[in-house]
Structure 1
Amino acid sequence: MNEENQIVLAMAPGSEVSRLGILVVYFLKDEGAIPLLALHLDRIEMHTKVPYTLYAVANRVSKTAWKMISERPNVKIVEPPLTSLRASSEHGYYLDAMLAVALSDGVSHICTLDVDSFPISDTWVDILVNAAPEESGLSGILRAENGDVALPHPSCILARRDFFERFTPSFSPDSNMTPNFRTFLHSTGQSADTGIRIGYTLWQNQLPWGILLRTNTRNPHFLMAGIYGDIVFHLGSAGREHASRQDFKHSFMHRVSSPIKRFRFSGPRSRKLQQALLRFARGDVDKHILTRNTQVFLLLQHQLVTNPDALLGYLQGSEPLGASTELASIDSRESKR
């Protein structure tokens, strides 16, 4: 652990937290994700040393998963009205619904996690609380490796309740349609995602926030299997379904076809032609990257649920005891990229 974190540990553990409200939206596509869910719940329970309530929206999970979540200690199932929103917009909608319930219950701090993120240290709450500047009272993950510059990522955000009471931000990934919001996106270069309005609130009010960066020693993938601040792990399962800009960083075909993508075509026929040209130029590369990402994700997920301590230790630089040789091979290739 680095020197900064050692200084934080010298402070009174969790002294400011009277009750932590942890917000998680549970999306599970199949029963194969049950072992990961169990690990996520186990690690929250194992490493959270302050009083807490785990607020859960779990209306799109199996009966097995719902039972597993609801029977855990300190869990409060929240059942807001259903929405037709999907992807990050749905995620933000349910986070907003749980936030209102948690604040009404009187929690002193709010924390968001993803279904595939969890603490890996008993000091995670202490470090996040003490990393948060007094002005904002907020700290969280910044996925700089994904190109983020002004987005606290909801795989782990922690803030005092007064941040939400003062500014009433939403977790929606959508623009609030104001000129100032567009200025924020343009001036920072930040892409929209769940939590973008949290970033906008910080930017608009010129508030500093405590940033947790990726601290992996080993990286089987530039985005997946991230450890942040030595205290939180995020598998990053979305990485297997969507390619990011960083995935194409070394793609010759993406570089030479970038003028086609940047050109502003007018009219539906022209835009269809643009998309057809991009598919022709980039299709094989896109397919290869998505296939590779899926293979890496499945390997990481298997390693994580069968021997989590071995994987976490491997990512943090320990000898690869229990980590597969295939994982070491992937890590070696990624390191050369």
Structure 2
Amino acid sequence: MDGPVAILVVNGGKDPEAGSWLEICLSSVRRHTPAGAARVYAWNNNLSDPRVRPLLASFPGAVLVEADPAETLSHPHAVPLQRLYERARADGAAVIVTLDSDSFPVRDGWLEDLLRPLGPRVPLSGVWRDELAPDVLPYVHPCGLAVTVRFVEEAGLRFDGFRSPRRAICDTLAAFTDAVEDRGLEAARLLRSNRNSFHRLMGAVYGGAIYHHGAGSRTNMAFWDEVKESPERRRLMEEDSRLLRDESASLLFRFRDRFAGWLEGRGPGTEGVGRPDFLLVLGMHRSGTSCLTGCLERCGVFLGEVSRANPHNLRGNHEAGDLVALQEGMLRRAGGSWRSPPPPFPPAPEEVASLRAIVERLAARGRAGVKDPRTLLLAEAWEAAAGSCARIGTFRHPSAVARSLERRDGMGTEEALALWNAYNGALLRLHRERPFPLLAFDLSDPAAYVRAVCAAAVRLGLDLDRPAPEVEAHGAGAAGLVEPAARLGVYEFDEFVLTFERSDGGIYGAEGLLKNYESSVALSMLAALKDPGRQALVDRVQKYLTTLQWDEGEDISVDNAWYGGAGYGRGERPDLSNTQMMLEALRDSGLPKDDPAYRKALVFIQRCQMLGETNDQAFARGSSQGGFIYSPAGGGESKAGEIEVGGRRELRCYGSMTYAGFKSLLYAGLSQDDARVRAALDWIRGHWSLEYNPNMPEKQSSEGLYYYYHVFSRALDAWGEPVIVETSGRPRVWRHELLARLEKAQRPDGSWVNEADRWMEGWPQLTTAYALLAIQAAYPQP
């Protein structure tokens, strides 16, 4: 569409903080719009915001119109849009583009995509909001709308008009869509394109071009289709939406590119990296090159015939034998080897020809690449053979590389560190010459590695949903990335843990003091790996854990308070903490729901609940607390002591054990309507806190806090509801509150520690593990 283009933006409605939205909107326009392609017209409702004038002054030719404080506008958005339109029309604009202050472009070419469809048959283009249908009919939304001035004038439309015979509810500019359809014309649509979402109506990317937060400066957080809800339900929805809006906005302002990339299921910006025809994977030996290459293969990179298994890589090193032999031969011709890198040397013509033949053979199948750490030492040869092919690199901590080379090759530490310097020096030189994605392989979280690989793959122009043919049967696309990352990224840790496998089927330290805890943690880890080759081991550990359960095998009958529980090891008195760990591991590892272990555990668990209706132990008689204690053994034990209830002394329930018990009731198969489950939930609703371990005596209130966060998160994730309503009626969006609390408590080095050092929580390794497990459960799984 030819003619001058005007971009109209209104700053803020009633929210005095909306200046942040204008800043992110206009900075994104400047970043992704060619100079001179459009003129910006902005209306400022927030006269006290000092950021607005300098921001507009940075746009050549921008027009700023400020509201008259003495004037009351009938609508703080629509009326300013009409006045900006009149100004732009008078200045000769042929096309009007509107952006909400909480919308902004996310990539280059957004304006071209918006304007390209415009013509006589298509006078309107933009973001297509259909999420509220059928309550609100779909329409092109002003958060990203383009319309010709000619059509606006011919149709008699106004930007402050809210009337349309088609609509019971007519939002700003919705009448434009109706006017187009009434005339038998068409509106070009940018459809919601994000793969990830945090809300059904907020935080969307449309057409891969424009982001709209959807409620950036709103004070009323009820959406139109929610008017049918009951007042209480609507209030809860409003509170939940408000929290989501504010938390996501905070992330957006701090991490704009990463946030938008997550929404689209991709990584940070793709600037500066072209779509590769051929890819070199670069990195030192034992630095994650195999893992990275396996991941890239699942994004469509063709590798040809490569190693799929060897003793030092669970899924092979993804190297082609002919390439390895060729490159090692080149290094030896120069007087070196992979283990003794020679100085840079010019390649022989026949060597260049051999490399070029490999490239051409692989590239004939489409996007292709190779991996061999020796490639780092032969950059000149590859430049001659393949030109400026795409690159991606990986690095790893030198001590980790040295340990791995010692295991694989018997290499001494000094030699390994010198080799690390040589290879990574070459990697840095190549990166300085022409930057390319670099990934760290020092990982403890495979999911984080997957996200990093996805981001790098997108930068390289790879398709996360298009696997190479060789891997289609093994878990393709972005979802399949988890497999090589998990297998290879935790390979050494997996092997380390298994050095503690015992002949009785357990996995625990030589001291044998925490057999149940350690075996349970190991079993949950094995379950997370999902390796069919470990299934026999999983079965053995499951069987071992069930032998730690007190039952008929120890001549314990069902009327014994110990029945169904587990302790620290065989022969140790049972408690709820050990029992919930065992039950979690059995559930994580797929023990069938009808296994007797669950039924037996339920007997013990309900005896830990202070609920006289279902607990047959004398200490619980008449109690209606509903929470849980540590153990029913020996007449009952609570780490929180006793409490007076109705003039009588009772064992005191407390947070960590109550969430452990609540979770265990659900794991044992009870329904949400079961009286025991409801009683535990009522206790939780009446004792909400993330500042301390609820209902512990004041001096002990911080003891076991991170264990509490762990069971809190796993329990509420098992419960399945995003909001817990306190007894007072206050809604609690537990995931957001927990994550905020842990973020606040995290130390500068990334760890967590509990100053109330009881139950080993002064040891940051354990406390950090609790925190990470809590965070993991707080993120909804796809």
TM range (shorter): 0.7 to 0.9
Paired position in structure 1 for 2:9: 24
Paired position in structure 1 for 2:111: 125
Paired position in structure 2 for 1:224: 202
Which amino acid is the alignment partner of residue 11 of structure 2?
A: Y
How far did residue 292 of structure 1 move?
A: 0.4
Alignment of 1:39-54 (within 5 A): 39-49=24-34, 50-54=36-40
Which of 21, 28, 31 is matched with 1:36 structurally?
A: 21
CA distance in 1 between partners of 2:49 and 2:83 (Å): 22
Which of 209, 212, 228 is matched with 1:234 structurally?
A: 212
Which of 49, 65, 69 is matched with 1:78 structurally?
A: 65
Contact 1:220/1:330 (8 A) holds in 2: no
CA distance in 2 between partners of 1:36 and 1:221 (Å): 19
What's the secondary structure of 1:78's corresponding residue? strand
Contact 2:203/2:211 (8 A) holds in 1: yes
Which amino acid is the alignment partner of residue 85 of structure 1?
A: L
Alignment of 1:284-303 (within 5 A): 284-303=232-251
Paired position in structure 1 for 2:190: 212
Which moved further from structure 2: 34-43 or 18-27? 34-43
When residues 329 and 137 of structure 1 are mapped into structure 2, their CA distance, relative to the original with a 3 A threshold, is farther
Which of 127, 135, 148 is matched with 1:141 structurally?
A: 127
Paired position in structure 2 for 1:166: 154
What's the secondary structure of 2:76's corresponding residue? helix
Which of 184, 195, 206 is matched with 2:173 structurally?
A: 195
Contact 2:100/2:143 (8 A) holds in 1: yes
After superposition, what is the alpha-carbon deviation per residue over 1:206-256, rounded to whole angstroms, capped at 9, x for unaligned?
22110111111011001111100100001112666232245578xxxx3xx
Which amino acid is the alignment partner of residue 20 of structure 1?
A: V
How far did residue 329 of structure 1 move?
A: 7.6
After superposition, what is the alpha-carbon deviation per residue over 1:145-175, rounded to whole angstroms, capped at 9, x for unaligned?
1224342211111122222232231122522
After superposition, what is the alpha-carbon deviation per residue over 1:305-327, rounded to whole angstroms, capped at 9, x for unaligned?
111111001000126759x9969
Larger Rg: 2
Task: Please tell me the root mean square deviation across aligned C-alpha atoms, in Å.
Answer: 3.1
After superposition, what is the alpha-carbon deviation per residue over 1:102-127, rounded to whole angstroms, capped at 9, x for unaligned?
11111231100001111112111111
Number of residue pairs aligned between Structure 1 and Structure 2 = 276
Paired position in structure 1 for 2:87: 101
CA distance in 2 between partners of 1:159 and 1:330 (Å): 43
CA distance in 2 between partners of 1:152 and 1:65 (Å): 30
CA distance in 1 between partners of 2:156 and 2:11 (Å): 24
Q: Does 1:157 align with 2:145?
A: yes
Paired position in structure 2 for 1:8: none
After superposition, what is the alpha-carbon deviation per residue over 1:49-105, rounded to whole angstroms, capped at 9, x for unaligned?
25211111114342413323432213201357675334xx33211111111111111
Contact 1:40/1:118 (8 A) holds in 2: yes
How far did residue 18 of structure 1 move?
A: 4.1
Which moved further from structure 2: 238-247 or 92-101? 238-247
Paired position in structure 1 for 2:42: 56
Which amino acid is the alignment partner of residue 174 of structure 2?
A: I
Contact 1:220/1:332 (8 A) holds in 2: no
What's the secondary structure of 1:64's corresponding residue? coil
When residues 22 and 156 of structure 1 are mapped into structure 2, their CA distance, relative to the original with a 3 A threshold, is same
Contact 1:27/1:61 (8 A) holds in 2: no
Alignment of 1:174-189 (within 5 A): 174-175=162-163, 181-182=164-165, 184-185=166-167
Higher relative contact order (CA 8 A, sep 6+): 1
After superposition, what is the alpha-carbon deviation per residue over 1:261-294, rounded to whole angstroms, capped at 9, x for unaligned?
xxxxxxxxxxxxxxxxxxxxx2221211111001
Flag the structure with higher helix content. Answer: 1
When residues 149 and 164 of structure 1 are mapped into structure 2, their CA distance, relative to the original with a 3 A threshold, is same
TM-score (normalised: structure 1): 0.72
CA distance in 2 between partners of 1:315 and 1:304 (Å): 11
Which of 221, 239, 243 is matched with 2:222 structurally?
A: 243
CA distance in 1 between partners of 2:55 and 2:142 (Å): 20
Contact 1:18/1:51 (8 A) holds in 2: no
The unaligned stretches of length 5 or more in structure 1 are 1-15, 176-180, 255-281
Q: Percent identity among equivalent residues?
A: 24
When residues 142 and 159 of structure 1 are mapped into structure 2, their CA distance, relative to the original with a 3 A threshold, is same
CA distance in 2 between partners of 1:232 and 1:329 (Å): 31
CA distance in 2 between partners of 1:305 and 1:241 (Å): 22
After superposition, what is the alpha-carbon deviation per residue over 1:165-211, rounded to whole angstroms, capped at 9, x for unaligned?
32231122522xxxxx43x22xxxx6211012212321332221101
Contact 1:92/1:170 (8 A) holds in 2: no
Contact 2:124/2:146 (8 A) holds in 1: yes
Which amino acid is the alignment partner of residue 243 of structure 1?
A: A
What's the secondary structure of 1:142's corresponding residue? strand
Which moved further from structure 2: 284-293 or 232-241? 232-241
Which amino acid is the alignment partner of residue 12 of structure 2?
A: F
When residues 33 and 59 of structure 1 are mapped into structure 2, their CA distance, relative to the original with a 3 A threshold, is closer
After superposition, what is the alpha-carbon deviation per residue over 1:18-50, rounded to whole angstroms, capped at 9, x for unaligned?
421001111165664444332211101111125
CA distance in 2 between partners of 1:31 and 1:80 (Å): 14
